[in-house]
């Protein structure tokens, strides 16, 4: 699964990533950043197999991925991490 977002202020990036994964410590991810003018493009790559460790809580990998995406959309400041993001979830697209 890949999530991408454009940040206008680089200081937001670390805080947003930390917020995104604070309740999902089972997942491993990689973050890549790229400067585009005065903005920062952030791409977070999450290995879909990481969601398998949550199968005791969720009935399927796809359900766990959906829950992650749903919660990724909520933050204290009202800004959604994945709103206006492009994201790729091959296993979800294949089933849904």
Separation of alpha carbons 18 and 55, rounded Å: 23
In this prediction, residue 12 has a pLDDT band, given cuts at 50, 70 and 90, of low
What end-to-end distance do the CA atoms of the chain give, in Å? 15
Which DSSP symbol is given to 54?
G
pLDDT of residue 76: 53
Q: What is the pLDDT of residues 72-94, one digit of tens each?
A: 766 555 555 554 444 455 444 44
Separation of alpha carbons 7 and 43, rounded Å: 11
Q: What is the pLDDT of residues 34-68, one digit of tens each?
A: 988 888 888 889 988 899 999 999 999 999 999 98
Domain 2-91 belongs to what topology? Alpha-Beta Plaits (3.30.70)
Separation of alpha carbons 43 and 87, rounded Å: 9
């Amino acid at each position: 699964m890949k999530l991408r977002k454009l940040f206008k202020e680089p200081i937001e990036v670390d805080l947003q990533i930390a917020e995104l994964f604070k309740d999902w410590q089972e997942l491993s991810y990689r973050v890549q950043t790229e400067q585009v003018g005065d903005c920062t493009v952030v791409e977070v790559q999450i290995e879909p197999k990481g969601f398998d460790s949550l199968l005791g809580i969720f009935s399927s990998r796809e359900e766990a991925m959906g829950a992650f995406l749903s919660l990724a959309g909520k933050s204290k400041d009202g800004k959604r991490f994945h709103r206006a993001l492009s994201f790729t979830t091959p296993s979800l697209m294949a089933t849904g």
